[in-house]
């Protein structure tokens, strides 16, 4: 399949997948839970826990009481004392709820991202700024929490893909039948592809990606490829690419 044929395939899939029926318990996705609340802090929790088996992700997210984001820190600690998910122990789940509760009292997540993004309209500058503010709001150090929230790399070289944050930004910035479009200050043209190991392999197989290393540079390269197809909205292909692999419509 040449690139022009791949473009036809992905354009068709992107149009076809832009449908609320794509979010169901038969096709579990953390966006299924996030879209029920349409609130930036809840959506961020859904995105950050969005790793592992999709069905288990949704099951865990649906067990959480998101009204705790408005509760006292004492109540958060008490209510979440037995909650854990894969690498995150109860103290890590508690930490992200308290950190986001404190952030809500300081400023919106959108405004914090925007403070880093606005100078050069660089989504990564916005992300590094947000992570710094998040860590400062509630200092908590553990492997599980670091895995959940991410850390600030010294440079793009060697940085991971930050897939869950990029997915979150897609939900927040884009507006269609799937993505919620709750934000207005960041332009969707500046978004980066939420690259995970499956879409990385799929992109290589389809000839969209030449880079052999699974990292931020690969995410940027893939985004640039899609930007040639749609400069105003390169990330619109993300969900289609993800579903092609998940449903084994293109064999890896």
What is the reported pLDDT for 148?
96
Residue 86 has pLDDT above 90, yes or no: yes
- The owner of tokens 């606005």 is 118
pLDDT at 67: 98
pLDDT at residue 249, as a whole number: 72
65 pLDDT above the threshold of 80: yes
pTM of structure: 0.95
Q: What single string gives the DSSP state of each residue in the chain?
A: --HHHHHHHHHHHHHHH-SGGGSSSSS--HHHHHHHH--HHHHHHHHHT--S-HHHHHHHHHHS-GGGGGS-HHHHHHHTTT--BTTB-HHHHHHHHHHHHHHHHH--HHHHHHHHHTTTT-HHHHHHHHHHHHHHHS----HHHHHHH----SSSTT----HHHHHHHHHHH-BSSSSB----SS-GGG------HHHHHHHHHTTS----S-SHHHHHHHHHHHHHH-TT-GGGGHHHHHHHHHTTSS--
Dig out the tokens for 102 from the structure.
């404190």
CA distance 199 to 230: 19
Q: What are the extents of the domains in the chain?
A: 3-246
User: Looking at residue 250, what is its pLDDT?
Assistant: 73
β partners of residue 244: none
Q: How far apart, in Å, do the first and last CA atoms of the chain sit?
A: 13
- Evaluated on CA atoms 224, 230, 232, 236, the torsion sign reads negative
Cβ-based neighbour number of residue 48 at 10 Å = 20
Using the predicted structure, report yes or no on whether residue 252 has a pLDDT greater than 70.
Answer: no
**Over pLDDT 70: what percentage of the chain?**
99
Encode pLDDT of 146-185 as tens digits: 999 998 887 788 789 999 999 999 999 999 999 999 999 9
C-alpha separations of 153 from 37, 67, 247, 249 in Å: 31, 33, 34, 35
- Residue 147, class by beta-carbon neighbours within 10 Å (0-12 exposed, 13-18 middle, 19+ buried)? middle
**Token output for 205:** 């197989």
Given the structure tokens 């070289």, which residue do they identify? 157
CB 127 within 8 A of CB 116: yes
pLDDT number for residue 81: 97
Beta bridge partners of 85: 88
For the stretch 197-233, pLDDT in tens is 989 999 999 999 999 999 999 999 999 999 999 999 9
């Amino acid at each position: 399949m040449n690139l022009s044929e791949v473009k036809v395939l992905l354009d068709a899939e992107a149009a076809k997948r832009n449908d609320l029926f794509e979010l169901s318990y038969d096709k579990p996705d953390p966006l299924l839970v996030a879209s029920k609340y349409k609130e930036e802090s809840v959506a961020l929790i859904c995105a950050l826990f969005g790793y592992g088996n999709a069905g288990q992700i949704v099951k865990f997210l649906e067990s959480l009481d998101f009204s705790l984001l408005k509760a006292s820190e004492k109540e958060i600690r008490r209510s979440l004392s037995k909650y854990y998910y894969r690498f995150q122990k109860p103290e890590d789940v508690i930490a992200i709820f308290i950190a986001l509760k404190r952030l809500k009292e300081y400023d919106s997540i959108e405004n914090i991202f925007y403070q880093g993004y606005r100078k050069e309209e660089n989504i990564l500058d916005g992300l590094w700024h947000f992570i710094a503010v998040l860590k400062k709001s509630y200092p908590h150090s553990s492997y599980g929490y670091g895995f959940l929230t991410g850390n600030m790399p010294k440079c793009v070289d060697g940085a991971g893909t930050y897939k869950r944050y990029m997915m979150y930004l897609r939900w927040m910035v884009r507006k269609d039948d799937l993505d919620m479009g709750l934000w207005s200050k960041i332009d969707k043209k500046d978004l980066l592809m939420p690259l995970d190991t499956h879409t990385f392999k799929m992109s290589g197989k389809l000839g969209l990606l030449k880079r052999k290393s699974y990292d931020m540079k690969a995410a940027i390269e893939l985004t640039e490829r899609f930007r040639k197809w749609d400069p105003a909205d390169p990330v619109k292909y993300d969900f289609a690419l993800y579903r092609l692999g998940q449903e084994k419509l293109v064999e890896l």
